[in-house]
């Protein structure tokens, strides 16, 4: 279980101070698929960057199964797969396979483990045909699939995706969605940000709504529907922001 406890993060932009995440508390239970929504600049990426130990909060604490994630950085990183939007992190001069092998080796996997994992991922994402082609020249969707495979190479039990389907075509988005459902069946925890409400509605157990760094809603999707007597996420999101329901 991931617990965010009264976490704040601000950035100093010349003379201005931006409160990217403002006294945020939330709990992400194991095995849940959690969708993160909010307007541009709401603090989603900043929250995800803190969850995966890329940046530290100014205040507050984040724990994974009771342990502070910053004092157990290495263990936490081994358990997590992380993908930030279109920052694929791939080396264009290497083939897809070579990229995956490289990232696998960074996690200390044996070549046998890497081979099996690549085989499984290539099959799952339909990447076999281009596994041995250089990444430069790949289409956006091909690249994104390899990038997703890269985040999964070490078989993490928690995955964080920041806008994973932005720019993907319908087929690639569907592959991603199927992957989420499959991953969920395996009991993994998935947290992803998106601006596509359908993805939340179709995939998520829980939703986190952020607005200007603060929490507007955190909890079960069904509970939200019941509480607000509507299943229209677009409407719910807008009305909550307009009403300014702040769960702090």
Cβ neighbours for 57, distance < 8 A, ≥ 6 positions apart: 7, 8, 9, 21, 50
60 part of the interface to ligand ATP, by CB under 6 A: no
Which among 153, 80, 159 has a CA at the least distance from the CA of 119? 153
Q: Which one of Mg ion, ligand ATP, none is in contact with 20 (Cβ closer than 5 to 8 A by kind)?
A: ligand ATP
Q: Which one of Mg ion, ligand ATP, none is in contact with 40 (Cβ closer than 5 to 8 A by kind)?
A: ligand ATP
44 part of the interface to ligand ATP, by CB under 6 A: yes
Window contacting ligand ATP (CB under 6 A); options: 26-34, 42-50, 114-122, 181-189: 42-50
167 part of the interface to ligand ATP, by CB under 6 A: no
Euclidean distance between CA atoms 190 and 192, whole angstroms: 7
20 part of the interface to ligand ATP, by CB under 6 A: yes
Helix axes 233-243, 221-228, angle to 10 degrees: 70
40 part of the interface to ligand ATP, by CB under 6 A: yes
Q: How far is CA 138 from CA 24, 88, 164, 173, in A?
A: 39, 12, 17, 17
18 part of the interface to ligand ATP, by CB under 6 A: yes
Helix axes 111-124, 96-106, angle to 10 degrees: 130
The footprint of ligand ATP (CB under 6 A) covers 11, 13, 18, 20, 38, 40-46
The footprint of Mg ion (CB under 5 A) covers 44-45
């Amino acid at each position: 279980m991931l617990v965010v406890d009264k976490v704040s993060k601000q950035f100093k932009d010349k003379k201005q101070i931006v409160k990217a995440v403002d006294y945020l508390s939330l709990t992400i239970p194991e095995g849940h698929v959690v969708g993160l929504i909010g307007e541009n600049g709401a603090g989603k990426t900043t929250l995800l960057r803190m969850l995966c130990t890329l940046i530290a909060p100014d205040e507050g604490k984040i724990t994974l199964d009771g342990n502070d994630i910053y004092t157990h950085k290495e263990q936490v990183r081994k358990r997590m797969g992380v993908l930030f939007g279109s920052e694929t992190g791939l080396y264009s001069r290497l083939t897809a396979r070579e990229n995956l092998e490289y990232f696998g080796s960074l996690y200390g996997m044996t070549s046998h483990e890497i081979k099996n994992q690549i085989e499984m991922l290539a099959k799952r994402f339909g990447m076999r045909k281009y596994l041995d082609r250089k990444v430069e020249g790949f289409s956006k969707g091909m690249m994104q699939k390899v990038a997703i495979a890269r985040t999964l190479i070490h078989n993490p039990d928690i995955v964080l995706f920041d806008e994973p389907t932005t720019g993907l075509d319908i087929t690639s988005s569907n592959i991603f969605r199927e992957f989420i459902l499959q991953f969920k069946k395996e009991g993994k925890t998935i947290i992803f940000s998106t601006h596509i409400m359908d993805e939340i509605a179709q995939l998520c157990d829980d939703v986190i709504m952020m607005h200007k760094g603060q929490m507007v809603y955190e909890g079960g999707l069904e509970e939200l529907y019941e509480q607000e007597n509507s299943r229209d996420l677009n409407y719910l999101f807008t009305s909550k922001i307009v009403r300014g329901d702040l769960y702090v």
